[in-house]
Structures are given as C-alpha cells and as structure tokens.
Chains A and B, each alone.
Chain A
C-alpha cells in the first residue's frame, strides 16, 4: 500500500475533474454530475487503495478487481484509468466519438484496458462483482473485489437479488460502495422514489455497512481500510458513501441538473478556473 499523501491525491483529483468537464464539453454529451461527485472515490481506489497492475489483465488474478455498475459516470473512470497509466491521456480526447475505445458507457468490445464488463443498463454490476469475487475464492486468491453503484440504481430489483445472494453465500471478499448523492435524473431520490433508510435495508439483507464522506479523502480511505479488515467475517461489506453531485464546481454542486448535461464554452471556462491544472491537460 502507498503511504497516504492526501495533498498528492487532491492534486490528482483536481486534474481528473478538469478532464471530466473537458471531455463532456468537447462532445456536448455525457454525465458530469456524478462523475465529479465520485472523483475522490476513484482517485482513492486507483492511487491508494487497490493493488492493481496497469499492464491490464482481464482476469486480474492476484489483483484487486474494480467494477463500475453505474456506467454513465464513465468520464471519471476513463480519466482515472488514463492518469494511472492504463492508456495514454491523449486518448481521453476521443471520448464518445466514432471509432473510440472510450464509449459513452464502458464496454469491453474495443478492449480498453481497465474495463472487464460493459455497464450502463443499471443494476447489473453488483451481480458481476459477486461472481468475480466467488471466482477468486475458488482460486484461493485473497484479493478484494470492489464495485460502485449509484443510489438511484438501488431502485433496480436485481440489486436486491444480488444483495440477498452475497449475504447467503458469505461473499466477504467484496466491498461494494453506493454513491449516495440523493439525486437522479428526474430529481432528488426522495421525490422520485424514496430509498428510505438505505443503511437499514442493507443491514437487513445481511451486509456489514460502513459509512463515509465520499468527498473527503481521509474519511473515505479510513472507512475502506476499516472495511478491508472486516474481510473473512462471513458478511459482504457496503460502503455507504455520501457525496455531492457536481462536487468541485460551484454552479454544478448539489443538484441533479448536471446529471447528463454538458457545460457550454462559458461554463467550461468558469469550471476550469475553479480547478487547478496539476498534471497537464490532455
């Protein structure tokens, strides 16, 4: 594990956020809101938490595996993968364009390093992650499997099929996270389809739930490291991670309005003025 260097992680996050808004602006499509909200999570995972090899092996034996279930936040994943060396950062300029490996939603068909399964149609990533975690158990591979879901995504029934299964089969080498930003396309989740007590729901399904502030590196990393120590307890682990959609850009923060909307030229300039260019724009 790397020594924890939060200022370094903050610098990477600032660059990732610049990448996100620039990518989405360039094609005037994509999903900036939750990408910005999950930036600390992705940077933590790829630059501190996970043991992973940038020389990508789809099977990932002996490595931690990561699955993104809410595939629409592909900009933050693509930027993080590129910034951690999976592919050239210049390739970010191809996002959502014809013949690109950076599809609107993550896909394997184009063999983009870092992606193991397509996602976008919601509710499927947890199942796949559980299957991959069980394959690790069969192989006596003691690394973790991680998966990220959106909170709106919890409205999909398959998530709860998977939740029930993982507890029943004691899949305790899995750390799932929920991006709890309280927003979805049509508005706040409490208005669209109230998730009520998310923590109690997961606990009732037999999961160990830990809570974190997903926009605070020390809270997030401390929580996930705590979760790692729960491995072997016979229970799958859920990190309920409070985030703000649009975090890091004053006019985007805390609203569902930027779920799937791209900034115009003026808005881009304003966003970039709030984010330090730390690693060089692509």
Chain B
C-alpha cells in the first residue's frame, strides 16, 4: 500500500498561480481577472508574463463575474481570482444568471476558503461556498488537496468546457501528491485500499485523513481513503463501489456540514445504499480569528476528529 508523506509544504493558492502561468504559456485564449488580490491569489507571474491578457478589476467582484462572462462569449477562457467569500456569496446572482444559466466557460478561482484563512476571522472564512456552487445547475465544483493537485486541477480546467468553481486556500500545507499527476475532473482518487470504513475527504482535509489513516492502521482498522477533489459532478460509482465493500462512511471537509461534500455523499447513499455515515465538518457555525491549526482543532477538523468519527461509524454498522 502506498504511504503518503511529504518533504515540503506550500500553499494551494501557489499551485493555482503556477497552473495559471503554465496555462498562459500553452493556451493563448486563457485570460485572467483579479479583484485587487494579485499577491494573495498568486497571479503575479501570469500578469508579468502576459500583461495583455491580465485584467485588474479593482474591488468590484460583481463586475468581474460579468466581464468574465462577456470574455467567454468572445471565445476567451477567463479565470477570475479573489477570496472564496467574494467569489461566491457576494456575487451569487451574477454567477447564477451570467455564468451558470448562460453556460459560460468561466473558471471562478477562489482562495482563502474555509477556516484555515486564520486570523482574518469569520467575515472572510466562508464555509458555505461549496454548497452555494454545487446547487447551481451546469456548475462544476473542485476542491483540490495540495499544491500539486491544485496546479493540475487549474491546468485541467482550461480543457473543460463550461462553468467551474475551483476552491483552494491560504495556509502552507503538506505536498503529498505527485507533481506529475493526471487530473481528471469528476474522477475520485482512491488513495488507500481498505475494508472497514471509507473516508471521503476533500481539500485540506485529505491530508488530515492521511494522518488519521496512519493512526487507524495502528489500531488495526483498515481504511479506504478516497480523495474527492471534484464535488460536482460527484463520482457516484466510486462511492457506491467502495461502500459496498466497507459498509460505512466518514466524510471530511473544511466546510459547513449543511451543503457540503458530506451532504452529497449522504444523498448518494440514501438513494442507493443506505449506510452509516459520520461527517467531519463545521456544524452550523461561523468561524473566528485564530491560527489555522487552532481553528481546525476548535472546530473539530483534526486527524483525531476523523479517527473518532471512524470508530463511531464502525460501531454503528
């Protein structure tokens, strides 16, 4: 069995920046828009290399979404960049009408998602964005787990036709997936094979689940860990196949329990193969200021929380 480890940590937003730069080099239709957060979104290299295809929008996110839809009409592939809160909740109606309903090939790229944004506090720590985006018809929702996967996902999005939401974050995070990985949108990645429980994790929580898996292995619990980088369209076949074997499920995400990955998995199981499920997620609460790790602990998103959820769900089998 492959063991996942790391030698380097980096922020997932830098993976986005690197992916965007690579796209600029290989696809001249790729354009980038940013709402006064070039440094935070790591879009500086693209701007420097391709100034004619980079658009500074200022602090005006609603306009940015509309501009992107217009550029997509002209055959461009726009990537918009701002924080996750301002990429979704602030501009929901613009996304709904001008992007999703109008089926525009706009890639909404969102950094600083979730609690791990840290000290800025709850105003900026959106925990509802996956739910908002996955409810929209035509929208693809992707939440990669580390630098390499975020870079690969960014590059894959340029070849994907249609509206998409790409969610990533601010903190330095272990790089534990290969730098040459193929990223297939909508295809779950089975990271470990197991028989007692399936953990479906997304985003930063995949690493937490890797650590949990090691702890559980020592306790003699065999975990099948599946990386759900694409929350919509959900890889229903992979989910059902794994649960048919393990019989119980834990989901893990840096998001509200309502509307997140856990909801999507629970719906899939309820409709096809009702099975015990526990959800590691924020439970109907806003965040607050603190260091990323303090917040992950306070709001129940640590490897230990996953271990506890696994033991609980196995007991329910």
Contact = CB atoms under 8 A, between A and B. Distances in A.
Given A118-B98, A131-B69, A169-B55, A138 B60 contact: no
Interface string B158-194: 0000000000000000000000000000000000000
B4 interface: no
A227 to B, nearest CB: 20
B53 interface: yes
Interface string B55-91: 1011010111111111111111010000000000000
B71 A131 contact: yes
Interface in A133-152: 133-136, 138-139
B104 interface: yes
Given A127-B65, A135-B75, A119 B70 contact: no
Bin the interface of chain A by size: 35 or more
Interface in B78-137: 78, 93-94, 96-98, 101-104
A276 interface: no
Contact of A117 (B62, B63, B75, B98): B98
A107 interface: yes
A139 B66 contact: no
A128 B78 CA distance: 12
Interface stretch (A20-28, A157-165, A206-214): A157-165
Interface string A167-205: 011000000000000000000000000000000000000
B74 A136 contact: yes
A133 B103 contact: no
Contact of A59 (B63, B73, B98): B73
Contacts of B31: 138
A107 B101 contact: yes
B218 interface: no
Given A109-B103, A165-B67, A131 B73 contact: yes
Contact of A126 (B64, B65, B66, B104): B66
A133 B103 CA distance: 19
A232 interface: no
A139 B31 CA distance: 12
Contacts of B8: none
- 9 closest Cβ contacts across the A-B interface? A127-B66, A131-B70, A135-B74, A161-B60, A161-B63, A131-B67, A128-B70, A132-B70, A131-B71
14 contacts: A107-B102, A109-B102, A117-B98, A127-B63, A128-B69, A131-B66, A131-B71, A132-B70, A133-B70, A135-B73, A135-B75, A138-B76, A158-B66, A165-B58
